[in-house]
Structure 1
Amino acid sequence: MKELIETIVKPLVDFPEDVHVAEVEDDQRVTYRLSVNRADMGKVIGKQGRVAKAIRTVVYAAGSSQQRKIFLEISE
């Protein structure tokens, strides 16, 4: 899943080397924390959060086969 998130986000940003995805697992959920360069935050979030919502939709659909809930957090 980390590779999928990186594959989606890296072409969108100006600093692909600053894209990092951390995985935090709990009993019933998996949280992926996406961090990008501060200058690229607007590109990842998009107007009114449309790009972020689209990324989350793809990630949630890819993880629907798992028994745990999947969350994607975007941070600087």
Structure 2
Amino acid sequence: MRKLIEYVAQSLVDDPSAVQVREIRNDRNAVVLELHVAQEDFGKVIGRQGRVAKAMRTLMRAVGTREGRHTALEIV
């Protein structure tokens, strides 16, 4: 799941080397991913009216459902 979000984010931004994804586990069934990007690429990851961010969260939810986990994505 982390690699999927990292791949999508690196494909969207101008500076792919600045993309970092950190995984935080709240309990055994919950996973929170923190996505860090360069300041100038922040808008590209969010998208217009949050559409890109919403799409990435939908992907995470689909993968999480298959694995039986609750997932969340935070863009920092």
Q: What is aligned with 2:61? A: 60
With structure 1 as the length reference, what TM-score do the two structures score? 0.92
The answer on 1:18 being equivalent to 2:13 is no
Q: What is aligned with 2:71? A: 70
Distance in 2 separating the partners of 1:14 and 1:63:
28
- Partner secondary structure for residue 26 of structure 1: strand
Q: What is aligned with 1:2? A: 2
With structure 2 as the length reference, what TM-score do the two structures score? 0.92
Aligned residues: 75
Q: Which runs of 5+ in 2 are unaligned?
A: none
Q: What is aligned with 1:35? A: 36
Consecutive aligned runs of 4 or more in structure 1 exceeding 4 Å deviation: none
Considering fraction of residues, name the structure with more helix: 2
Identical aligned residues as a percent: 48
Deviation at 1:68, TM superposition (A): 2.4
Deviation at 1:17, TM superposition (A): 0.2
